[in-house]
Structure 1
Amino acid sequence: MTVNPIPTRLSSLTLEDLSQTEGMPAILPIGSTEQHGPCLPYCTDATIAEGLALRLAAVLPAVVYPTIQYGYRSNPKSGGGALFPGTIDLSGSTVIALVRDVLLELIADGRRNILIVNAHFENDPFITEGMCLAMEAAGSGANVQCIQTNWWDGLTPETINACFDASDFPGWALEHGGVTETSLMLALAPELVRTERIPSSGLEFVPPAYLRFPLKKGDVPIEGNLSPAVGSTAEKGELILKDAVESIYRACEKEFDAAWPFAIAMHN
């Protein structure tokens, strides 16, 4: 597979540079600012979303827009960030409005193929609503195709089994600060992972079958992560990235405007 070593970031372009990207799709990464346990930083979701977007832009012609660094409130059964300092939670209405407004700006700038890459579990329904509202506001005459995906959506059972060779797969809601996120960070930004703080044993956490407010200590493990990071490796992170890139590439190839110039085939 041929790789473009310098993916196109909007943040590094000039106005003249941008004019050379006409017709290229836009990739919008979305993450969060949220605690991720003892070994991962608050930027984990944003780093994974942006890293995957750049991997995609390295094998297809696209412009990667600045990552949205804040996300919907982190719930105890899928994060629990509100119980820890440093997590910045947005309301659902704010996430919806933010996504809607950014998408409408991209459409106004002439982007007709837009890919949203999400890495924060709780964002999903609010991104969907913002996307729907933007598409309704743009109208069918705008001829816009928009895709939303979470990085975990297209992973094959083989990849999941390979990642959880040393522990049981807890489900994506509880895979917070666990094997997959730690492996992805080891692949994308190893300098940010506190490897010496990866626990040497598993973490047993069974969330209650209900959600209560106000939240109380004990709703989330004091460590901050919801599943063990034991067995995390950069190699597993690369396996996840390869699988996710291929899955998302195929979705874009199927759903986006046929005129999109796919300059690089996935299987040269």
Structure 2
Amino acid sequence: MSRRWALTVLGALVTLFFLAPYSVMLMSSFRTSIDVRTTPPRFIPREWQWDTYTRVLTDERFINWLQTSLGIAIASTILVIIVAIPAAYITARFRFIGRTPFLLLVLVTQMFSPTALVVGLYRQFFELNMINTYAALIVTNAAFNLAFAVWILHGFFSSIPAEVEEAAELDGSSRLQTLWRIMLPLTRPGLVTATIFTFIAAWNEYVVALTLMIDDAKKPLTVGMRAYITGYEQHWDQLFAASVIAVVPVVILFATIEKHLVGGLTAGSVK
């Protein structure tokens, strides 16, 4: 019993530790910009400002940034899933020359940091006349997250007994029908895991977007929010409010598919 209480207290402390920055961000969104800069800092605002979120949500720039981030994240996620499903299925079900080197190559690409490749990416997209385009961000985000999706789906497809496909083929299903009707439903936790991690990575991407996007109206939310803090004006209250709003879609996504996500992360842990 004492051990259970100790674990509960420890878990609560860890939770509070990770929630602390978000609570400060939330409380700071209700301060005035002057109050944010006042020292010593206080957790409770000296003066409550209740219209910060209204001003942010009615800001046309913020709406453009939010729509851009949402569109890029969704498009990148769809592209990753479309490519990762056949790649993972083929490598899991077929033995061919170069299979192992291909999987290792996919794994190696996961080790490269976008920051280290940003100069090369800029040069490449400059040659293709794709600077300041949504397509450049979509392709880049998809490329950086494809390896994770392929590997996790590869593990799910490999864990499904081959007899399941053989039974479907005996019933007259083609390879494509078997993949769509049988294999994909069985790998739903893996699909959900790959989808949510790809979406979050694309939603939070900053360095590549900062480098490739020039037009303020086309910048995603992570880059656009920098406009609230400049050398001439500092709207700290709006910056914190925009940051809180940016967290909301991810929280809703996690809450909606939590069960599938946990199943995907723990798959294979119990035989």
Q: Give the TM-score range, shorter chain.
A: under 0.3
Greater strand percent: which structure?
Answer: 1
Greater helix percent: which structure?
Answer: 2
How high is the TM-score relative to the length of structure 1? 0.27
Q: Which has the higher contact order (CA 8 A, sep 6+)?
A: 2
Q: Which has the larger radius of gyration?
A: 2
